[in-house]
Amino acid sequence: MGKPVSLNRFRKQKARAEEKARADNNAAVHVLSKAQRELAKAKREQKNRLLDGVIRQDDSLKVSSKYRRNCK
């Protein structure tokens, strides 16, 4: 007869392997290339610049404090 074996160890190893496989799959599905990340960042910055030009407070025509400082 062989040595006693801890089944918990094998269960944990299997769980780790499954978790790693799931993480690898998620990384492959959700990762963006550098060019895609830069394009998304550029679009986000362009949208923010556009929105900065039309900032309104409380649906009124008040100018935001950011722009009031520059109007002195």
Pick the residue with more confidence: 67 or 18? 18
For residue 32, tell me if it sits in a domain: yes
For residue 1, tell me if it sits in a domain: no
72 pLDDT tier (thresholds 50, 70, 90): very low
CA-based R_g, the chain, Å: 27
Other CB atoms within 10 A of residue 63 CB:
13
For residue 29, tell me if it sits in a domain: yes
Supply the range of the domain harboring residue 53. 7-71
Q: Which amino acid, one-letter code, is at 13? A: Q
Residue pair 56/62 in contact by the 8 Å Cβ criterion: yes
Query: By three-state DSSP, how is residue 44 classified?
Result: helix
For residue 55, tell me if it sits in a domain: yes
For residue 14, tell me if it sits in a domain: yes
For residue 26, tell me if it sits in a domain: yes
Looking at residue 50, its pLDDT comes to 85
18-61 per-position pLDDT tens digit: 999 999 998 888 888 888 889 999 999 999 888 877 766 555 55
For residue 2, tell me if it sits in a domain: no
Number of domain units in the chain: 1
User: How far is Cα 66 from Cα 55, in angstroms, rounded to an integer?
Assistant: 10
**Quick one: average pLDDT of 64-69?**
54
Chain centroid to CA 53: 26
